């Protein structure tokens, strides 16, 4: 059974600081996705990583994928309050069309 685990589950950080969220998955996959969810809202697609070594950046967020380690990271640079949200990774196991989501990381950026 595929497991997609994120850590930390909760993260409280000061504005201006850097931090990394980790997404580990238990089966082979060469596609990984990151999403953002604001409280009480739907999910928004952030990044799609389609191969080993893929790196995508948008503003203060940068995502990377290491398929050999079955690990993706979401790095936050110089956090601002507007980045406060829950971040989810999702994986499509090789040979399937299922998108399986991780547990989510609730990020709170303190002024």
Residues interacting with other proteins, by CB under 8 A?
A: 31, 33, 35, 42-48, 50, 88, 90, 92, 97-104
| Residue 85 three-state SS | strand
15 vs 58, beta carbon nearer other proteins: 58
Provide, rounded to whole angstroms, the least separation between the CB of residue 107 and other proteins. Answer: 14
Provide, rounded to whole angstroms, the least separation between the CB of residue 51 and other proteins. Answer: 10
Provide, rounded to whole angstroms, the least separation between the CB of residue 22 and other proteins. Answer: 15
β-bridge partners, 105: 87
Burial class (CB in 10 A: 0-12, 13-18, 19+), 29: buried
Distance, in Å, from the CA atom of 107 to the CA atom of 8, rounded to the nearest integer, reads 9
């Amino acid at each position: 059974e595929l497991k997609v685990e994120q850590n930390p589950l909760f993260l409280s950080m000061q504005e201006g600081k850097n931090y990394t969220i980790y997404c580990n998955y238990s089966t082979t996959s060469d596609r990984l996705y990151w999403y953002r969810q604001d409280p009480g809202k739907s999910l928004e697609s952030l990044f799609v990583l389609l191969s080993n070594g893929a790196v995508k950046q948008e503003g203060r967020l940068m995502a990377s994928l290491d398929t050999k380690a079955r690990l993706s990271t979401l790095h936050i640079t110089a956090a601002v309050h507007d980045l406060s949200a829950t971040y989810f990774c999702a994986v499509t196991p090789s040979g399937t069309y299922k998108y399986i989501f991780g547990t989510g990381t609730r990020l709170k950026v303190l002024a």
